[in-house]
Structure 1
């Protein structure tokens, strides 16, 4: 409900404030309408996203000329754009293209269309020293994904 959404919003904003120097991608089903894509008018979640773009100097890849497709959700003869990909300037400089699979040619198992984003990444081979701490931060509501991640992390760390 609303309380859970507020918790998620606060957590995302905490992350946005803490990773200003890192390459950052924020993506997902925001269940938002920004009034610029699709037929829907601006709503509360859309205002929140537009505020983030301004406040944290983010770019919405859905609005970029290199994004092919608009509709991210489709069911019962209704269409909408509710999934967004936001990046900071460091990541935007690496952005190559984005495709929203509106025809569901690649995968058709959800009422959301597959979004593929391509970035140019530096080829970097990093030697991991014993005792070196690598800190990564992830946020998900998906309990199964979290369980799988923990299992893989334990296996990786020994």
Structure 2
């Protein structure tokens, strides 16, 4: 009797996850297009390439809406590490760390001293906790029950 319920519950969870992923993909596409405009010089992407293949990307831009909400707009003036994605075939090879290092070098050149980072995905949160330590704030149940949203405030110098 419990098995059909669990299958039904899992299907709903998977459908919600797929919707979240699709929303995230569309958001990143909009960011990428916006970064190509001369009007958005405060938004940019860096890519890690191996031969002619892109292995990963990282972006930086203005403070996002979720960070503003979670911090009562304390960080409205601070830029955000928007996204870090490494293709599965390149994971575990230091590509993500190299992208972060390249971004920190670029931010230092721009005389940026701090940046924000936020995450609502549990898998990403685990990685960010290891990399950046305790978050500045945790918005409990932001995405629903047990769907916490974490926000970090980081110093560029600490990562160089």
Is the TM-score greater than 0.5?
Answer: no
Q: TM-score, normalised by structure 1?
A: 0.26
Higher helix proportion (structure 1 or 2): 2
Greater share of strand:
2
